[in-house]
Amino acid sequence: MPRKAATPAPPRPSKGERTRDQLVETIVALVNERPLDDIRIADICAPHGLAAGAFYFHFKGKDDAFEAIGIEAVTRLYAPVLAAPPAADFFSECVEILTQFYRAAIERRSEVRAIFMILNARRHAGVRDAWLAVRRQLQQRLAARIAVERGTTGTGAFASANVTAHYLLCGLERFYDDVFFLTIDADLPAEAANFDVFVRQQARLWSVAATGPTQ
């Protein structure tokens, strides 16, 4: 039998791509450690022995770097959430959405923290617009499903479902921040370690808030 053709190896990143990746990694780490205004270009370049010219080859300045990195991080966080397939019932769909969000957010914890820090600086409109755009897609998806589950139709019914979806997502983002960064309640990180139970508990809360009691 003829041998199957070997799968070609993915192309190796160029030197420029590797340099940009190094800069991005350092910027994300620094954003997690200190206020944006306290980050110097020298601090970004020094860990890799790079001159400032290497930074300016990829970014126009610090704010341009923060904006680019924030937009990329938002996209990576929400891409698997938006790609989650519709489920047979609302509770199962909540489980899938929450699972994809937490998996992406936990895997990219430093990036998520960087998103929050950049958004809180309130001067990077591109990051805010990117976050609102992907969040709006998820909110509309939830709102449409909530309206169906409630058995209601019409503009007013969708508007009510949209408000509910908005509050569910606000709660998700705030709860993630509380559990993994602020640790206001010391027991929450331990509970979150049991991932499946943690997700299903929140999915039940979403179902009750949106449509009434569920399994």
Domain containing residue 84: CATH number? 1.10.357
Per-residue confidence (pLDDT) for residue 43, from 0 to 100: 93
Over the stretch 38-78, which tens digit does the pLDDT of each residue have? 999 999 999 989 999 999 999 999 999 999 999 998 998 89
* 101 occurs within a structural domain: yes
What is the reported pLDDT for 4?
56
Q: Are residues 88 and 126 in the same domain?
A: yes
Count CB atoms within 10 A of the CB of residue 58. Answer: 15
Question: Which domain range does residue 180 map to?
Answer: 71-211
pTM of the model: 0.77
Looking at the domain assignment, is residue 135 inside a domain? yes
Cβ neighbours of 116 (radius 10 Å): 17
Same domain, 77 and 49: no
Residue closest to 114 by CA, chosen among 53, 72, 152, 159: 72
Is residue 76 located within the same domain as residue 134? yes
Nearest CA among 171, 111, 113, 120 for reference residue 142: 171
The answer on 117 and 46 residing in a single domain is no
- Which residues have CB under 8 Å from 47's CB, separation 6+? 22, 26
| pLDDT value for 215 | 42
How far apart are alpha carbons 44 and 47 in whole angstroms?
A: 7
**Quick one: 100 and 150 in the same domain?**
yes
- Does the residue 201 lie in any domain? yes
**Is there a single domain that holds both residue 50 and residue 88?**
no
**What are the residue ranges in the chain where pLDDT is below 50?**
1, 183-185, 214-215
Domain count, the chain: 2
Contacts of residue 75, defined as CB under 8 A and 6 or more positions apart, other chains included, come to 130, 134
pLDDT value at position 184?
A: 44
